[in-house]
Amino acid sequence: MVRRVAVIGAGVGGLASVKCCLDEGLEPTCFERSEDIGGVWRYTDSVDDTRVSVYRSVITNTSKEMSCFSDFPFPEDFPSYLPHSLLLQYFQMYACHFNLLQHIRFKTTVLSVRKRPDFATSGQWEVVTETDGVHESHIFDAVMVCTGHYQEPYLPLDCFPGIDTRFKGQYLHSQEYRDVEAFRGKRVLVVGIGNTGGDVSVELSRVAAKVFLSARSNTWVASRVSSHGFPFDMVSTTRFNHFLDWLLPSALTRRIRFRKFNSWFNHANYGLASTKSSKFKIIVNEELPFCLLSGAVVLKPSVKEFTESSAVFEDGTIEENIDVVLFATGYIFPFPFLEESVRSLFEDNRFLYKCIFPPQLEKPTLAIIGLIQLTGSIMVGSEMQARWVTGIFAGRNKLPPASRMMADVLKRKPPVKRNPSERENLKMSFISYTDEIAACAGVKPSVLRLLLTDPRLALAIYFGPCTPYQYRLVGRGAWGGARAAILTQWQRVLKPLRTRVVDEDSDRSSSWHWMCLVALPVALTAGFLLSKHPQLGWRHWAG
């Protein structure tokens, strides 16, 4: 019987885990090595090798309605996309509202997590911590590791000949970047075109003499602002769109997606991506296209090598007088506190059951929370993981036998990794994964049942954004405010924009609602038939 649970880390996943433990009647103790909650979102000017922090100007890539805890909406006057200060304020509000702080031990580092000698029967763990130089040993019935995947900077110097032997300039990882002041008037090369690389390149272009951005992968650039000015993720992440993605041939959905990206600007003209490529990444950045168009940022291919002051690229071009090289090459997640016999059971989340449980453990009392990269908010995915895991610890939910868990892990054929930091390996469909874990936890809503009992809510759930409140409608932890939160989510998007009101046409047609009402049962029926008879789907006909 699990009672005492160790939660490692007081970031997004740690806060959700502590709250879910309390909901299940468990006794959590959270260990946080810094002096406050928030994890990577707690910004600090200092650069500490042992702690990863966001940079000063960062703005969330997912909107507030798609990123909140499922029973605690953001304040309606908060903007849709948030700076780190407001996000941290929200975390503090959440922690205070649910009385989480009393369960967190700050300035306490976890040194080791080891199985007890009788683990095969007890499932217990020995956790050794350090606080102000004092070591302490604890016994816990279960452990939830909530350190995420931003643990240790990945700096592959061996892949860049000359950087640490011939190059006379400065080089650093983006983990050390805070703001632009140290780069003023310099010629900067940014290596890596993920979200961080794109953001930093744009910001540096305002003060640097020149910024070069080295990219080796096909990259599509999306905007946070969608049609009619609404948040992109709220418009695109719907159950109806998810159904179409599943129904239509993958080649067709990819072509539609590429065409939509190119409707903003032709990515091939900018050297970013080609519609012929099957491997690609998507980043969010509204300003990068203009910076490229204006020459403030110059896109370059992969770096071949460095000389004393130059960068030589794979296409043979050379950029002289480079002052600083900034590596936006991602992170690795080594979990150094786990004993080797446990750590060796999984290389990354591809070898975890449902990206959470090491299936080879004799007892399922170790859970990895937040080691996921979704097409939507990781906050929502982490909370859903925590709800399911604590239900298992409390004995309400059950895991299948180890053999079935291993079969499920092996069935999900892992892609070949090119380097440890490429989180495309972890990326999964937001709706698919969250629904899967919600079904395991018994909290996935039934749109068909709602269509019969609450058609208005069913329409909002199926054709509207898949906001986290949907997972509080039924089952354990159902929240009485979930329905109202869903039906008023668009109002909370518009509220912070109503700082100046203008006249508009208030005569709106109801034809769209009638069309949705007709289309919903058709789509649900088709989805049910295809789930029972997959050979009817386009993907199967296409072979």
Which residues are CB-contacts of 160 (< 8 A; sequence separation ≥ 6)?
Answer: 191, 303, 305, 306
Q: Are residue 196 and residue 317 in the same domain, yes or no? A: yes
Domain residues for the domain of 167 are: 154-223+264-330
Structure tokens at 357: 């449980």
In the prediction, which pLDDT does 300 show? 98
Region of 132 on the Ramachandran plot (φ > 0 left; ψ -120 to 50 alpha; else beta): left
Report the pLDDT value the prediction gives residue 526, as an integer from 0 to 100: 57
According to the model, what pLDDT value does residue 515 have?
A: 55
In the block, tokens 């199967």 appear at 540
- Do 97 and 114 fall within a single domain? yes
CA 22, CA 29: separation in Å to the nearest integer?
11
* Of 318, 431, 448, 334, nearest in space to 380 by CA: 431
Asked if residue 493 belongs to a domain, the reply is no
3-class secondary structure, 468: helix
The last residue of a domain, from among 330, 362, 386: 330
CATH code of 53's domain? 3.50.50.60
- Average model confidence (pLDDT) across the chain: 91
- The rounded distance, in Å, linking the Cα atoms of 436 and 35 is 35
d(CA 39, CA 53): 8
Same domain, 113 and 190: no
Q: Residue 53: phi, psi to the nearest 5?
A: -135, 150
CA 59, 490, 465 angle in degrees (round to 5)? 80
Alpha-carbon distances, residue 250 vs 390, 414, 539 (angstroms): 36, 19, 7
Instruction: Show the low-confidence residues of the chain (pLDDT under 50).
Output: 416, 418, 420-426, 508-511, 534-543
Distances 221 to 224, 260, 263 between C-alpha atoms, Å: 10, 11, 11
Largest CA distance in the chain: 72
My answer on whether 61 and 181 are in the same domain is: no
The structure tokens listed for 164 are 């640490």
In a domain, 95, yes or no: yes
Same-domain status, 325 and 345: no
What is the structure's pLDDT at 539? 43
> What is the pLDDT at residue 538?
40
Q: How far apart are CA 457 and CA 530, in angstroms?
A: 24
Tell me the sheet residues that pair with 238. 465
Q: Are residues 338 and 203 in the same domain?
A: no
How far is it, in rounded angstroms, from Cα 474 to Cα 444?
A: 7
> Measured between alpha carbons, how far is 54 from 175 in angstroms, rounded to an integer?
8
Query: Does residue 301 fall inside a structural domain?
Result: yes
Q: How far is 125 from 140, CA to CA, in rounded Å?
A: 5
Strand partners of residue 88: none
**What string of H, E and C letters represents the secondary structure of 384-441?**
HHHHHHHHHHCCCCCCCCHHHHHHHHHHCCCCCCCCCCCHHHHEECHHHHHHHHHHHH
Q: 195 with 67, same domain?
A: no
